[in-house]
Amino acid sequence: MDAVSHQPTQLTTTFKTKQSMYIFFQVHPAGQNGAVCLLWYVNNKVFFPYALSVYPNERTTYSYASYGGTGSGYVELYWASTTKCTDKVLAQRVNFTVS
């Protein structure tokens, strides 16, 4: 990730153990507050649930995680009204590998 622009510098889906895995995404909050709820999985087990607030004028944002083991993984991105994520709706799923 570029430290100034906060944009990706190299696209990949393969990471090394304990390497930061960034996910960049667009949001369309339609002029309302909301939240993106992320569930990071490796080997079909959640290792990092995270939620972030989204404000009415935001268009892009990102999150990241790292994993201390190896395996096939994915991150699920959900839209919700708050960071409690009780009303979350799946928006996207992205696959990756940690080796």
DSSP state of 90: E
CA distances from 18 to 14, 28, 41, 44, 74 (A): 12, 31, 14, 18, 16
pLDDT per position in the chain (99 positions), as tens?
A: 565 665 667 788 899 999 999 998 889 888 899 999 999 999 999 999 999 999 998 888 889 999 999 999 999 999 999 999 999 999 999 999 999
Instruction: Read off the pTM.
Output: 0.89
